[in-house]
Amino acid sequence: MSQFPIKKRHISNSPIVLGCMGFGGERGTDHYSQDDIYKMEIAIDAALSSGITMFDHADIYRNGKAEKVFGEVLKANPSLRNKIVIQSKCGIRFPDDLGPKRYDFSKEYIIQSVDNILQRLTIDSIDVLLLHRPDPLIEPEEVAEAFEWLKSSGKVQHFGVSNMNKSQMELMNAYLEDPLIVNQLEMSLRKLDWVNEGISVNQQIGLNNYFADGLLEYSKLIDVQIQAWGSLANGIYSGRGQANVSKTEKNTIQLVNKLAEEKNTSPEAIVIGWLMRHPVKVQPVIGTTNPERIQKCADGVQQSKLMTREEWYELYVTSRGDELP
């Protein structure tokens, strides 16, 4: 079995990433409480006890409060920093006096964003910085200058992107001194357009299909780590409830639970294991804030190794609701 690209590069041994988008208290306020800090601390403990040592942030999560509560935990436990890998994202700007919601990959904004990220996290550097979704106005030369400055200053060790296709990544890599190492995409048992890049044109209409140009093959070829956000499919197959779900989704829920029972594991581990079974070595980003659910996801690593080709395809076909294309 091949290694995770991020492990090959000696950046992280964590096959799963804990996404921190849900932490930091209520949306729309600048306030967070001691209880919010405690929830973050408990989640970190649950992750570490499950072998999850990589944590994913973004400067916009809870308007920066997700990073702030994480920073509070780090400040109270300084030795923790050397045990974990921290990743954050920047490039999305919310509406303000200057303009509407937009993307900003300018050199000045990237550098300013990283300084703010480090301040909120109470640390001197982050391990990985991702550009948060594509910016139509990207100037790759300017991004390259920002990345070079951030690396030479010791503020960021490695760089990647999110939601970019093959052509966008090729363009950026043509200007970068160090190639991109991560691409974070929406991938799950519910979102299947990545599985078979030969799906019909009709099925692709209306989709932001990153995969139509051979992104997965390209990523494997150049050792880019594919990370999957939305990997638990919003919990629809692992306990969210069956109200307002389709017949196909009900059938998939039943199959996931059947496999979980047969294998003495959790539905979460089956859903995560299915993603990780793919040869591109997907690294799921789990967004749950529930410590128990974090621990349940951890067995997905083992389930990916145990899942047969037939089981993988049974989940694929059932979740599609039809035959293979």
Q: What is the mean pLDDT of the chain?
A: 93
pLDDT value of residue 70: 98
pLDDT value of residue 207: 42
User: Greater confidence, 323 or 87?
Assistant: 87
Residues 104-125: what's their mean pLDDT? 98
Using pLDDT thresholds of 50, 70 and 90, give the confidence band for residue 193.
Answer: confident
- Count of other CB atoms within 10 angstroms of residue 48: 16
Whether 322 shows a pLDDT value over 90: the answer reads no
**What domains are there in the chain, each with its CATH number?**
5-234+278-289 (3.20.20.100)
pLDDT value of residue 201: 40
pLDDT value of residue 48: 98
CA 105, distance to chain mean position in Å, is 20
pLDDT value of residue 172: 97
Whether 78 shows a pLDDT value over 70: the answer reads yes
Catalytic sites, residue numbers? 61
Residues 301-320: what's their mean pLDDT? 97
Report the distance separating Cα 224 and Cα 182, nearest Å: 5
Report the distance separating Cα 62 and Cα 11, nearest Å: 27
> CB-side exposure of 38: number of CA atoms within 13 Å?
3
Per residue in 16-51, pLDDT (tens digit) is 999 999 999 999 888 999 999 999 999 999 999 999
User: Greater confidence, 264 or 206?
Assistant: 264
Using pLDDT thresholds of 50, 70 and 90, give the confidence band for residue 211.
Answer: confident
Residues 125-139: what's their mean pLDDT? 97
Say which range, 26-30, 146-150, 282-286, has the weakest mean pLDDT.
26-30
* CB burial readout 93-111, b (16+ within 10 A) else e: beeeeeeeeebbbbbebbb
Using pLDDT thresholds of 50, 70 and 90, give the confidence band for residue 240.
Answer: confident
Using pLDDT thresholds of 50, 70 and 90, give the confidence band for residue 323.
Answer: confident
In this prediction the pTM is: 0.94
Residues 251-279: what's their mean pLDDT? 97
Residue 193: Cβ-neighbour burial (10 angstroms; 0-12, 13-18, 19+)? middle
